[in-house]
Structure 1
Amino acid sequence: MFERRFTVQGHQGSVLSLFTGAGGLDLGLEAAGFETRACLEIDPFCAETLQNNRPEWEQLKCRDVTVAAETVKPKDLGLKVGDLDLIAGGPPCQPFSMAAQWANTGRRGMDDDRAQTVVAMLDLVEVFQPRALLIENVAGFLRGEISASPFIRERLAEINAKHGTAYSLHAQIIDSAAYGVPQRRNRVIGIATRDGKLMELPVPTHADAPIRAWDAIGDLAEADLPVPQGNWAGLLPSIPEGSNYQYLTARGGGEELFGYRTRYWSFLLKLARDQPAWTLAASPGPSTGPFHWDNRPLTARESLRLQSFPDSWNLAGPFRQQIKQAGNATPPLLAEVFGRALLTHLNGVPADVQEQVRPTLLLGQLEGPLRKPAEVLPVPERYHDKKGAKKAHPGTGKGPKPREVAPSQSRAGLVSSSDAVQQELAW
């Protein structure tokens, strides 16, 4: 069963939280044994969420990390330089996200103005000189051609040369589902310790037996359910659980309405109750999944469950702001697992002793059989004019935009890829 309460370990380390968001990273680190000494969050809805759930976490008044880098000192947290155990956070991911390739202004890496937050994060590392730095982000943040990794490594080398530290960044891409999170969420974990020693990463515990979406949300019965919106919402009952729009292409099992791989992966994507959820989006458009197997958007509570938050955690703001907070969050269970490993490394606790402690945010399987998937329905009549042969995407490396359609299909109401993206992002 889902563990809706957790035990906070005795404080064994201190953390300055950056880009705190809805508090997922901090909540997991708290469960592992860290104490959040202060946090920085600029979004007012996230700040309200943190205040409502953890009023004891001091929110620094400046809120903006670029301002904090110039003004906040260790003494403001009752510390001296070098006393802080950890700086942790996930800078804004849009400049490095694969999803951003669908937008004209996406994937600019460190050339993006929003990447100045990365500069500020490293400036704070120099100011505090913590025992460790922990970063959780999309894989492209520390891997790939436009990643922030070269800048971070160069900046850490400058700090080392100036202060005699030995920070060295080590990064690993992981799937959150491999550690018990009921969601396939590929993220990069970056860790740099002041002594330069490589931390032993926690061993995946659920790689071969992931927690299912059913285990996380199958027992929920909420009264206020969101209604699907947009031109394509009526197609959801015509797509099987665990599939997306590709079921309605020449290579799928349904009728051909779309060209193969001509739309983004999450278009009309549905959960399968016998598998972990697909990655939750922070700003989904009306056709962006994952959708519930009952052919509707997820509720905020379902999103939190799929992120491994306990039910005691409540999000502030209107529905769309709550979905944004949930989708942007670090899964608390993932943070707890890596937080325990980090404390093991920093405090010199033998790894075999640490591994005997069961993460308190870990989910189990729901009792009883799974409900059978709903019958896949025929494509509704109002979409019949979209039927017909479509060109597939030209292939790997050709980018997201080449979505060629016949003139007759354009007249039928299909739009260009860039227009479709803007419609999705505008919801």
Structure 2
Amino acid sequence: MKASKNNASRPLESVELFAGAGGLALGISDAGFHHRAMIERDRWACDTIRYNQERGVSPVVNWPTPYQGDVRDFDYSPYEERIDLVSGGPPCQPFSIGGKHRGYRDDRDIFPEAARAVREIRPRAFLFENVRGLLRPNFAEYFKYILLRLTYPELVRRANDKWTNHLARLERHHTAGTSRGLSYNVTFRALNAADYGVPQARVRVVLVGFRADLGFEWSFPEPEHTLDSLLWDQWVTGEYWDEHSISKRRRPSIPQRFVSRVAKLKSAGEKPSAARWRTVRDVLRDLPEPTERQETKGVLNHWLNPGARAYTGHTGSPFDLPAKTLKAGVHGVPGGENMLAHADGRVRYFTVREAARLQTFPDNYALEGAWSEAMRQLGNAVPVKMSQTVAVRIRELLSNEAEAA
């Protein structure tokens, strides 16, 4: 489905919650939405957005100045029924596999605020994302609670009510089949960013909802890139190595875990139709080798932070696959996930610019703060290209609905 030419040039209005360093916001802007408000409580993330606005970086220069404060204190009344999309990534630490796994017991669980924003703004659609740890079995009941709160945002939790009691009320309302009041058709899927052209194996749970009265039929975009296509170019035709000017005698052996898969591809005798997964080598090939503690001339945020070391379970990302998931960490940045691993066993930390490329941020987008702070912002971010892909599909539906009206 394609948006009409008339609506393709008209920006739709959005409000961004939990904006962070701007990864989700950049993708949504690139999809054609105009942010009317941005909320983020972290000082460094707000500094990053403000600094890029001061530098005139597009599209950030056209964003509103971020509201630096707790989302629980934000007044949505000026935006009621004026917004097409509410979006955001509620803090993921309560559900992260690398975190404390406290879920609803964690005071950083701000999903209830996402429901409040939807209730008070009444947007035509919303887009929220979180870590795949949200789908862990021990969070199953709470995840159901999140979905039902977003489905029926006007059915609010009573004072001093336990969340389980509220869940029971939501379940009764849902099974009664009533259509009274504001409601949304909500769906979710765990998406791997590598399937959408991001050079990183990063799985996120994405929730999309459309106001029920619109009657939209929605499905998530199908993967555009695949591992099989990468393996074909690497180990069947060798095209990948030729593109990177790596001679046959310098090419590595097929990783053992892919041997049988490559054999099946050869037996099929036909290259998969999708584009291949993008690798670390693909996106870092034109960057100069960084210098320790000194920014490389002409390349933003590109300097070497020393001290990287590999240990069991923390071995870094190989050159010729998508990177491992960049993480923010609970007690500082976890080095194992944020390292580059050479074939000879040497490791070094990714520079901030390299990590930004792995998250598909544009090269002219600066990250504020020291290495650890900038990497924390990137570890918390949504890959720009993946968010753009989903937001484009949302925009197509909203634009065509506006034209039909």
With the length of structure 2 as denominator, give the TM-score of the two structures: 0.68
* Counterpart check, 1:214 vs 2:281: yes
- One of 33, 57, 63 as aligned partner of 1:57: 63
Query: Aligned AA for 2:219?
Result: E
What is the match of residue 306 of structure 1? Answer: 358
Deviation at 1:227, TM superposition (A): 4.2
Deviations 1:73-114 (CA, angstroms, capped at 9, x unpaired): 1x2xxx4x32211110111111101112xxxxx111112111
Relative to 1, partners in 2 of residues 1:276 and 1:31: Cα closer, same or farther, differing over 3 Å? same
What is the match of residue 199 of structure 1? Answer: 218
3-state SS of paired residue (1:338): helix
Deviation at 1:133, TM superposition (A): 1.2
3-state SS of paired residue (2:205): strand
What is the match of residue 260 of structure 2? Answer: none
Deviation at 1:215, TM superposition (A): 1.0
The answer to whether the Cα contact below 8 Å between 1:41 and 1:59 also exists between their aligned partners in 2 is no
User: Separation in 1 of the partners of 2:284 and 2:124?
Assistant: 38
Comparing 220-229 with 119-128, greater Cα deviation is found at 220-229
The answer to whether the Cα contact below 8 Å between 2:352 and 2:375 also exists between their aligned partners in 1 is yes
Query: Aligned AA for 1:344?
Result: E
User: Separation in 1 of the partners of 2:395 and 2:16?
Assistant: 16
- Unpaired segments ≥5 residues, structure 1: 1-8, 101-105, 237-243, 246-264, 350-427
User: Separation in 2 of the partners of 1:327 and 1:286?
Assistant: 10
The answer to whether the Cα contact below 8 Å between 2:333 and 2:376 also exists between their aligned partners in 1 is no
The RMSD of aligned alpha carbons is: 2.2
Relative to 1, partners in 2 of residues 1:229 and 1:56: Cα closer, same or farther, differing over 3 Å? same
The answer to whether the Cα contact below 8 Å between 2:202 and 2:325 also exists between their aligned partners in 1 is yes
User: Separation in 2 of the partners of 1:346 and 1:41?
Assistant: 26
- One of 155, 165, 171 as aligned partner of 2:182: 165
* Counterpart check, 1:37 vs 2:104: no
- One of 162, 176, 182 as aligned partner of 2:199: 182
Comparing 9-18 with 142-151, greater Cα deviation is found at 142-151
Deviations 1:105-134 (CA, angstroms, capped at 9, x unpaired): x1111121111x211121111000101110
Deviation at 1:329, TM superposition (A): 0.7
Relative to 1, partners in 2 of residues 1:347 and 1:62: Cα closer, same or farther, differing over 3 Å? same
User: Separation in 2 of the partners of 1:142 and 1:35?
Assistant: 31
Higher helix proportion, which one? 2
What is the match of residue 88 of structure 1? Answer: 87
Deviation at 1:304, TM superposition (A): 0.2
Deviation at 1:62, TM superposition (A): 5.7
The answer to whether the Cα contact below 8 Å between 2:198 and 2:383 also exists between their aligned partners in 1 is yes
3-state SS of paired residue (2:188): strand
Deviations 1:17-48 (CA, angstroms, capped at 9, x unpaired): 01101101010111111111110011111101
What is the match of residue 112 of structure 2? Answer: 119
User: Separation in 1 of the partners of 2:72 and 2:381?
Assistant: 21
User: Separation in 2 of the partners of 1:291 and 1:318?
Assistant: 17
Relative to 1, partners in 2 of residues 1:167 and 1:341: Cα closer, same or farther, differing over 3 Å? same
With the length of structure 1 as denominator, give the TM-score of the two structures: 0.65
Query: Aligned AA for 1:203?
Result: E
Q: Percent identity?
A: 32
- Unpaired segments ≥5 residues, structure 2: 1-7, 53-59, 157-179, 230-275, 295-302
User: Separation in 2 of the partners of 1:280 and 1:345?
Assistant: 32
The answer to whether the Cα contact below 8 Å between 2:152 and 2:182 also exists between their aligned partners in 1 is no
* Counterpart check, 1:278 vs 2:278: no
Query: Aligned AA for 2:277?
Result: P
Deviation at 1:213, TM superposition (A): 0.7
Deviations 1:196-245 (CA, angstroms, capped at 9, x unpaired): 64412112110231011111112111333434437xx2xx4xxxxxxx73
Query: Aligned AA for 1:92?
Result: P
Relative to 1, partners in 2 of residues 1:291 and 1:108: Cα closer, same or farther, differing over 3 Å? same
Higher strand proportion, which one? 2
The answer to whether the Cα contact below 8 Å between 1:229 and 1:287 also exists between their aligned partners in 2 is no
* Counterpart check, 1:133 vs 2:126: yes
Query: Aligned AA for 1:289?
Result: E
Deviation at 1:159, TM superposition (A): 2.8
User: Separation in 2 of the partners of 1:161 and 1:227?
Assistant: 50
The answer to whether the Cα contact below 8 Å between 1:86 and 1:132 also exists between their aligned partners in 2 is yes
* Counterpart check, 1:156 vs 2:150: yes
Deviation at 1:57, TM superposition (A): 1.7
